[in-house]
Structure 1
Amino acid sequence: MNTPISDTFRQQLQAMRADVLAQLRAQRGGKIGRAEAAANARETESDDWAQADAERDLAFAMEERESAELVAIDEALQRVADGSYGLCVDCGDAIATARLHANPVALRCVACQDKAEQASGATKPAGY
């Protein structure tokens, strides 16, 4: 991938990374850690334990998802840095630019992603 195109994707990935970090900070009530956020949530919970547990579980699930997204973004930025960004991890062919614009953390070309999904029985995993 040529330098101007990889610079475009690097900027897009860096913006995505900043957005995910902002979401994580907002979920945690600022810059506090996960344990502190859980303690704060426990202090402000209502008497409805089932609802409070469901809200806490949802918040942790969202944080896990965003943490996984952050890892995928950091890995994509590493591929930009080492020159392998935009190449399918399975076949080595170039991933379509339109696909990378739609999903900048894509690891595979469409054909290899379809094969990977069929083999695992999964549907549209992270990095698609």
Structure 2
Amino acid sequence: MSTPISDTYRHQLQAMRTEVLAQLRAQRGGKIGRAEAAANARETESDDWAQADAERDLAFALEERESAELIAIDAALQRVADGSYGLCVDCGTSIATARLHANPVALRCVACQDKIEQASRSAPTPGY
């Protein structure tokens, strides 16, 4: 991938990273630490334990998703830095520009991603 094009994606990825970090900070209560945010949340919770548990579970799920997104962004930035950005990790072909615009952290071309998704759909569900 040429330098001007990879610079475009690097800027896009850095903007995404900044946004995800801001979301994580907001979920944790701004500039305070995770422990302080949890203590504050516990102090302000109502007597409705079911609602409080549901809200806490949602907050954990959102944080987990955003943490995974941050890891994917950092990995994509590393691929930009080492020159492998835009190449499918499975087959080595170029990932379509439209795919990278839609999903800048994409690891695979559409064909390889389809294979992965089909395999996961046909795999038996554990415990069933």
TM-score bucket of the superposed structures, by smaller chain: over 0.9
Equivalent residue number for residue 18 of structure 1: 18
**How far apart, in 2, do the equivalents of 1:83 and 1:2 lie?**
9
- How far the C-alpha of 1:119 sits from its partner, in A, is 1.2
**How far apart, in 2, do the equivalents of 1:77 and 1:24 lie?**
19
- Secondary structure, in 3 states, of the residue corresponding to 2:16? helix
TM-score between the two structures when normalised by the length of structure 2: 0.92
Equivalent positions of 1:20-35 (< 5 A) are 20-35=20-35
TM-score between the two structures when normalised by the length of structure 1: 0.92
- How far the C-alpha of 1:33 sits from its partner, in A, is 2.7
**How far apart, in 1, do the equivalents of 2:2 and 2:28 lie?**
39
Whose Rg is larger?
2
Equivalent residue number for residue 125 of structure 1: none
Equivalent residue number for residue 41 of structure 1: 41
Equivalent residue number for residue 126 of structure 2: none
- How far the C-alpha of 1:111 sits from its partner, in A, is 0.2
Overall identity of the aligned pairs, in %: 89
Do residues 88 (structure 1) and 82 (structure 2) align? no
Q: Which runs of 5+ in 2 are unaligned?
A: 123-128
| Counterpart residue identity of residue 15, structure 2 | A
Equivalent residue number for residue 55 of structure 2: 55
**How far apart, in 1, do the equivalents of 2:10 and 2:64 lie?**
24
Paired positions, count: 122
- Secondary structure, in 3 states, of the residue corresponding to 1:121? helix
Q: Which runs of 5+ in 1 are unaligned?
A: 123-128
Equivalent residue number for residue 103 of structure 1: 103
**How far apart, in 2, do the equivalents of 1:89 and 1:81 lie?**
15
**How far apart, in 1, do the equivalents of 2:54 and 2:4 lie?**
46
